[in-house]
Structure 1
Amino acid sequence: MASVAVQYLPILLFLGVALILSCVFVFLPQGVARLTGAYKPNADKLAEYECGFPAFEDSRMQFDVRFYLVAILFIVFDLEAAFLYPWAVSLKQIGWTGWLSMMVFLGELVLGFAYAWKKGALEWE
């Protein structure tokens, strides 16, 4: 029975050290801030801040569809950049077929960008 407990000793030691370090990293900065005078709460510091504007009273308030449109456009063009790097690295191995398929992909993205621009999705009033 004692040998089983000895086998778990490194795990318990690791968990103890992790608990002590996490407490130090959480509570030590708070204590230092209070002792050095950096802790000066006011209404602005204690206010909630999300998405660049203050919180509303009603959580079911409708947002402008442009928020979602900008997010979708960001994801689309971010994926474009994510596909370009591995394509550029492996261009010698994939040859002309890979080059042509990436040009078709980029052409579709340019068409989508032009459409979004024409519809005014990138303009903010």
Structure 2
Amino acid sequence: MLYFFFNLTLSILVPSLIIISTIILSWRTDFDREKFTPFECGFDPKNSARLPFSLRFFLLAVIFLVFDIEIALLMPIPLCLMSGLSISIIPTSFLFFLILLLGLLHEWHEGSLDWSS
């Protein structure tokens, strides 16, 4: 019976001490007005947060990401050719190069790659 009361007391006391210690440790004593203002990378939050954004830059960044991912997809082709894994890798890679080249020519003809205009 004494063992039961010891376990009951211990099971109530330990979680209570943990909860009280976390409350004490997380208590904030210094309330600073500057800490409660929104942080916007050094900009004054009282001014307008909307800045003009260049859509040409965004389009060029998206085109760069697309072509960068396509180049990453092309990287294993020489390893596959050297190891002789598959003979169908040559027509597949040629088709992929052709689609990549046609996309580049389309973007060039459309004027999306011209940064100055």
2:111 maps to 1:120? yes
How much does 1:85 deviate?
1.6
> 1:56-67 to 2 correspondence within 5 Å?
58-67=48-57
5+ long unaligned stretches in structure 2: 1-40
Q: State which of 90, 97, 100 in structure 2 corresponds to 1:99.
A: 90
Cα shift at 1:59: 2.4
TM-score w.r.t. the length of structure 2 is 0.52
Instruction: Kindly report the root-mean-square deviation, in angstroms, between the aligned alpha carbons of the 2 structures.
Output: 2.3
Rg comparison, structure with higher value: 2
Distance 1:94 1:102 in 2: 14
Indicate the percent of aligned positions where both proteins have the same amino acid.
32
After the TM superposition, list the runs of 4 or more consecutive aligned residues in structure 1 that deviate by more than 4 angstroms.
none
Name stretches of at least 5 consecutive residues in structure 1 with no aligned partner: 1-46, 49-56
Question: What is the correspondence of 1:11-90 to structure 2 with a 5 Å cutoff?
Answer: 58-90=48-80
Using the size of structure 1 for normalisation, the TM-score is 0.49
Larger relative contact order, structure 1 or 2 (CA cutoff 8 Å, min sep 6): 2
Bigger helix fraction:
1
- Cα offset for 1:58? 3.2
